[in-house]
A and B are shown apart, each in its own frame.
Chain A
């Protein structure tokens, strides 16, 4: 399934985040995969995903500019592909 920035997303509940000076470590207890979130802004986006109506809104709320948006959209796409974040039902 293709990643859609306009859909609602959430961090998988088996993923733990550990903030670090460079961003954060994200560990998925189910797949046992470790990812590095290479900026604090990306950490903020990922943390806020579940509370926003779309990936785009979560990015905006974290202070992502229009110019930065494509890079962060690609980061979210990578996280979605490895199951770190998943699409949630629009109503939730």
Chain B
């Protein structure tokens, strides 16, 4: 992204008060997934029977075209397991809605790679969370590294240049940043790093997997040195408080310039906030997505003036804006206080003092297996559930 000329006040101010349509949005097409990544932000696994039909998806695309939403980030679950995925992809691009879809690579055959390479309007993002099979597979499951690398080879062989290699940065892979960059370079791709959020199953592993304070600093220096060469989706705007801002808008776009449509048509403020506290409406309602975007009370609140709360007196509040709402919410911290990974360390005492068991959890869970149990999980039905599910 780049901003061009003629100052008319800060762009950020316009974005914070919201736009008539999102700049881009995330659309999770299905909760079904053939993997079971430990940090899955949408707790995906099984398809939800209420998922939008092909025709309903096409109606959403028509609406996005009318609203001039130029592109959508499509994800899941694993979006390519939907039988109508390629049909929807063609429908979107024929209606001036570009698509960037995230995949674990399992359905990228040489034929599909050739087809994708031929389209200007489609971008592909291959997810990999370790630069070695060992580190990746510990998070994404056995064989998933090899699958992702094969998909990258096929895209490169088909002549698809500039696809994305997408990495969630963790304590385990932070030492591999150069190796990730080398993988992306090898296949003519672009590296994209994003932040680990305690959303979905991510809540179960966040304490052990989120980067340490020292690692965070290292990440910041690394990103700063690479500039626009490495994408971040504005994911690390909380690091701006180290000093110089990273490229991007450096603001929380939730409900202001971005949002999420989930597989059943629910509209949430952001992809990391699948919880009723951030639910704005459903695309099946009268007036569809446009009405939810423009009239939802939640979104209006998010576009109103925000109080810095405990952060208001901090000299760096203008840089980090209090950090990520979802990261605070799902770690059980107050929304008007510091980010759990506040670079000045203001989140740490709060994390230490909180009751981790009291952190809100989303009941929306499509995991194929019950999520790992926390020490504080004393639900007497947990084991009962395992028995009736019959999977173990």
Contacts and interface: CB of A to CB of B under 8 A. Distances in A.
Contact of B100 (A21, A25, A32): A32
Contact of B6 (A18, A34, A71): A71
A32 B71 contact: yes
A20 B19 contact: yes
A79 B6 CA distance: 13
A85 to B, nearest CB: 11
A7 B240 CA distance: 41
Contacts of A32: 71, 98, 100, 123
B11 A36 contact: yes
Contacts, number: 78
Nearest to B20: A20
A70 to B, nearest CB: 10
Nearest to B164: A32
B375 interface: no
Contacts of B7: 38
Contacts of B2: 33-36, 78, 82
Contacts of B290: none
Tell me which of A23, A32, A75, A79 has the highest count of chain B C-beta atoms within 10 A of its own C-beta: A32
Interface string A51-86: 000000000000000001001101100110010000
Interface string A3-41: 000000000001010101111010101101111111101
Interface in B109-137: 120-121, 123
Contacts of B381: none
Contacts of B120: 14, 29-30
B98 A29 contact: yes
Contacts of A16: 68, 70, 96
Contacts of B5: 37-39, 42, 71-72, 74-75, 78
Contacts of B230: none
Contact of A72 (B1, B3, B6): B6
B3 A29 contact: no
Contacts of A38: 3-8, 11
Tell me which of B3, B7, B96 has the highest count of chain A C-beta atoms within 10 A of its own C-beta: B3
Interface in B164-223: none
B21 interface: yes
A33 B1 contact: yes
Interface string B57-79: 00000000000101100000000
A48 to B, nearest CB: 16
A77 B236 CA distance: 30
Contacts of B6: 23, 38-39, 41-42, 68, 71-72, 75
A20 B2 CA distance: 16
Nearest to A27: B70
Given A20-B19, A25-B23, A30-B120, A75 B100 contact: no
Contacts of B23: 25, 34
Interface of B: 1-9, 11, 14, 19-21, 23-24, 68, 70-71, 96, 98, 100, 120-121, 123
11 contacts: A18-B70, A20-B14, A20-B20, A22-B9, A27-B70, A27-B98, A29-B98, A35-B4, A39-B8, A75-B5, A75-B6
Interface of A: 14, 16, 18, 20-23, 25, 27, 29-30, 32-39, 41-42, 68, 71-72, 74-75, 78-79, 82
